[in-house]
Amino acid sequence: MGFTAFTAFTTFTAFAAFTTFTIFTTFTAFPMTSADTQNHKRALRGIGLIMAAVFMFSAMDTLAKYMLKSYPMSALMWARYVVHVVVMLAWLGPRMGMRLISTAHPWKQILRGVLLVGSTTFFYFALRYLPLAEAAAITFVGPVLTALLSGPMLGDKVTRRQWFAVIIGFTGVLIIMRPGGGVLSLPAVFPLATAILFSVYQIVTRKVAGRDHPYTSLFYTAIVGGAITSFAVPFHWITPTLSQAGFVVCIGLLGGFGHLLLIRAMEHTSPSTLAPFVYSQLIWSTLLAYLVFGDFPEPMTLFGMSVVVAAGLLAVNWQHMRRLADADDQTGTH
């Protein structure tokens, strides 16, 4: 192993250790709603499900990057959404019936679908031109953007701590995109656009949460995505080979079941408890990118990824603590 490879390996080990330590430290800092063993077991099951889900998303992104070398992006996205719809209809259709498509906010659900398609499109452009780990790392500034955008879009007060997390997060992104040796270029804007659109998507999702069933929201993102991408498919369609068809189906299955696991995880415990563990996706993306493409981030890029993770975890932690403080204040007034 040469000096450069050794340096990269040790830096990645430090990055993985930092991410894992920070995730578990943040998790243990979250007070449980109840101290009983049953709730703790439910939380652990939720954590296991969320980590399985983000592994599926990393595997899906890896396959998508591989397929984009030889297959049209629009056809790949269309297949990804269509398989997602088929999985949901087969899995939930018999159990939920018309409740699966019943919504009190059809236009907001359609908007969610449009935003997710836009986010996916920009990310697939990023995968064409950037290494997987770097593209994924830049998108993880999303939780920080969500905290920032929740002010004007949801009426939440953006605190100084949240502004601090925003500055740290973008500092990490700039380290990854650094001029003169980094990935600073037009393609680096694509994952940043992905993060912005996905943050708006999450905020719109919060507006329909509690009003529509979570499975309904998930179904609308898939059906709207399938409908939009269907318009582009006839212009770029290439009949896949047997192996390509298998990979395309795998991408759809990984996306569909990944989202189902995500929802199941949220049924077991609170989103604030699960949020830190989403960052384990960066570890999976880095490993898979190295195994499949031979890409490995430079030490400075890994440092930037760690800064982005730290900013996101700070934003999640402070937002959670603020909700707890607000709940205590409301309890104290009654």
- Give 112-162 pLDDT, tens digit per residue: 999 999 999 999 999 998 889 888 888 888 777 776 776 676 666 667 776
- Most confident range (mean pLDDT) of 147-151, 200-204, 316-320 is 200-204
SS3 269: coil
Confidence of residue 258 (pLDDT cuts 50, 70, 90): confident
The DSSP code for 203 is: H
Displacement of CA 314 from its chain's centroid (Å): 17
Give CA–CA dist 258/262, Å, rounded: 6
Is 216 buried (19+), middle (13-18) or exposed (0-12) by CB count in 10 A?
buried
- Tokens 């699960």 map to which residue? 274
Cβ atoms of 192 and 141 within 8 Å: the answer is yes
Q: What is the pLDDT of residue 6?
A: 45
Cβ atoms of 150 and 158 within 8 Å: the answer is yes
Mean pLDDT across the chain, nearest whole number? Answer: 78
Confidence of residue 3 (pLDDT cuts 50, 70, 90): very low
Give CA–CA dist 290/131, Å, rounded: 10
Roughly how many angstroms between the first and final C-alpha of the chain, as a whole number?
A: 65
Q: Per DSSP, what are the bridge partners of residue 209?
A: 212
Least confident of 61-70, 171-180, 299-308: 171-180
- Tell me which of 173 and 7 has the higher pLDDT: 173
Q: What is the CA radius of gyration of the chain?
A: 20
SS3 173: helix
The DSSP code for 97 is: G
Residues in the chain: 334
For residues 181-208, give the mean pLDDT.
81
Closest CA relative to residue 227, chosen from 238, 237, 219, 217: 219
Which of left, alpha, beta for 210 (phi over 0: left; psi -120 to 50: alpha)? left
- Tell me which of 164 and 320 has the higher pLDDT: 164
Give CA–CA dist 100/112, Å, rounded: 16
Closest CA relative to residue 83, chosen from 225, 242, 213, 197: 225
Confidence of residue 321 (pLDDT cuts 50, 70, 90): low
Give CA–CA dist 319/237, Å, rounded: 45
Phi, psi (rounded to 5 degrees) for 212: -115, 150
Give CA–CA dist 87/135, Å, rounded: 28
- Give 8-22 pLDDT, tens digit per residue: 445 544 545 555 445
- Give 216-226 pLDDT, tens digit per residue: 888 999 999 99
Give the pair of three-digit tokens for residue 35. 């101290």
The predicted model scores a pTM of 0.77
- Give 274-307 pLDDT, tens digit per residue: 666 777 888 888 888 888 888 888 888 888 888 8
For 116-153, letters b (16+ CB in 10 Å) and e give: bbbbbbbbbbbbeebbbbbbbbbbbbbbbbbbbbbeee
On the question of pLDDT at 32 being above 50, the answer is no
Confidence of residue 325 (pLDDT cuts 50, 70, 90): low
